[in-house]
Structure 1
Amino acid sequence: MSVLDRIIRTTTADLGARMVRIPAAELEARALMAPRRPSFAAALCAPGLSVIAEHKRRSPSRGAIRVDLELTEIVRDYERGGAAAVSVLTEERHFGGALDDLTEAAWVCGLPLLRKDFVVDRYQLLEARAAGASAVLLIVAALPIRRLEELHGAALDLGLDVLVEVHDAVELDVARSIGARIVGVNNRDLRDFSIDVERTYRLLDGMPAGALVVAESGIRGVDDARRLAAAGVDAVLVGEALMAAPDPRLACEELACACG
């Protein structure tokens, strides 16, 4: 069983427990009453290469990344450091996140917020909307095509932007077929968590016309970002490099200034 398979299995089990605690009808009412956040897509359309700065406590491949800083401090550092948007990892068992992290980020940060998780059900879209997300992640490798298409449409209906994540040309064809407007190329293979930093470049020519392109994982600093910008990428999603930096605000500022 791959790492992704294990994460999907635990995600589904945890989701079932949450659905018992808060019925879907109640959650939907909360979601529809929640104020709209700034547009994630609009933030990525700004001139230059946009930085999506991620709050990420740990990962299956690296273990603990940063445990000495509070989420509020990190998110505020990202906003002050020039990030265009903030990604909040909410998966608990493998990444140390929580849905409450997204709620807290929405209270202290005015930037668009991406809920980064392994979405398998519309209920998670309602959770994201109620907690203050502007956008959600849908991973092509994690979903049957019909379910992916259904969740993509449901997210848009709820006023959420969708970052559709791909790893190869076959998955990119799927993203195109469902009308993805924002496509993320994850340089990390979620089956074994290996990184291939050239993956984004290989897939650029096959991107849907007009789609915003986000490079994810393996971006270590200014040189990587500048190279991606020159290739035509619209945004970079950076977590570990910022979280592990001695001064996350300064690291984000240097990246944002170099990309602007």
Structure 2
Amino acid sequence: MSILDEIVDRTRDDVKRRRKAVPPEQLRARLKDRGDDRPFAEALASRPGVSVIAEHKRRAPSAEHELRTGSTVEEVVAAYQRAGATALSVLTDEPFFGGELTDLAKARGASDLPIIRKDFIVHPYQVLETAVSGADALLLIVAALEDKDLAKLYRKAREYDLDVLVEVHDGEELERALEVVDADVIGINNRDLRDLSIDLNRTFELLSHVPAGKVVVSESGISRREEIEELERVGVDAVLVGSHFMRQDDIEAACRELAAL
């Protein structure tokens, strides 16, 4: 069993428990209290150069310890905004990444940037959670979903006016993302979620197969301004950076360096 299989199985069990604790109808009643829209995809596409999606991430399966201690969600996302990030990513998976769903509301209260919920979304209940918890977009990982589930979850997200970052890491997954949902925002993950290896060349290899007009995000393994400049040269619209920022003593300076402010 790969790490992705393990995470998805655990996620399905966790969703069952959460649905019993808070039934869907209770969540739907909270939809009326959603705040103003902060268009995620539009923010990435409208900024000149490469946008930085800065991530709050406590832990990673490949790390033995927390990536950062002593900083609150609010402090981290406020630093990202001051540093020139275009959008925020908030990792809410708890068992493997130490995140919490409540981190979304905390981030929204501390910043006016659009927020994507980064998690392993496998059930429509999670889409509803996302809509009522302060996010403007969510992540769908093609490797974790059958085509019918990918289509259903994408459609449900759009019903709730959530933007969707559809993540792929090889040519077959890219083909599915385009054929099944015609994704507007495509994330190319340089990390293989099956074995956690990282290869930045994945972005360069897949980019030429992405149709014109799509917003392309390069994810994972990015830590230097030179890498972002090369990604900009080939037409990448945004990068998602988490672990690199969260490990830095001065998180604002690290983000500012990559955002070129």
From 208, 215, 220, the equivalent of 2:218 is 215
Equivalenced residue count is 258
Find the residue that maps to 1:110 and give its secondary structure: coil
CA contact (8 A) 1:58 1:96 kept: yes
CA distance in 2, matches of 1:145, 1:201: 25
Aligned partner letter, 1:55? H
* CA deviations over 1:119-176 (Å, ceiling 9, x no partner): 0011111111111101000000000001101111110111000000001000000111
CA contact (8 A) 1:87 1:115 kept: yes
CA contact (8 A) 1:36 1:132 kept: no
CA contact (8 A) 1:54 1:237 kept: yes
Gaps in structure 1 of 5+ consecutive residues: none
CA drift at 1:219: 0.2
CA distance in 1, matches of 2:52, 2:31: 27
CA contact (8 A) 1:31 1:127 kept: no
2:7 is aligned to 7
Aligned partner letter, 2:232? A
2:109 is aligned to 107
CA distance in 2, matches of 1:126, 1:192: 30
1:33 is aligned to 33
CA contact (8 A) 1:106 1:131 kept: no
* CA deviations over 1:36-85 (Å, ceiling 9, x no partner): 33110111011110000000011001232112211111010001110000
1:206 is aligned to 209
* % identical equivalent positions: 49
CA contact (8 A) 1:138 1:165 kept: yes
Aligned partner letter, 1:28? R
Aligned partner letter, 1:160? L
CA distance in 2, matches of 1:89, 1:120: 15
1:80 matched to 2:66? The reply is: no
Alignment of 1:141-220 (within 5 A): 141-177=143-179, 178-220=181-223
Find the residue that maps to 2:42 and give its secondary structure: helix
Aligned partner letter, 1:34? R
Pick which of 104-113 and 62-71 moved more: 62-71
CA distance in 1, matches of 2:130, 2:171: 29
**TM-score normalised by L of structure 2:** 0.97
Alignment of 1:112-127 (within 5 A): 112-127=114-129
CA drift at 1:31: 2.5
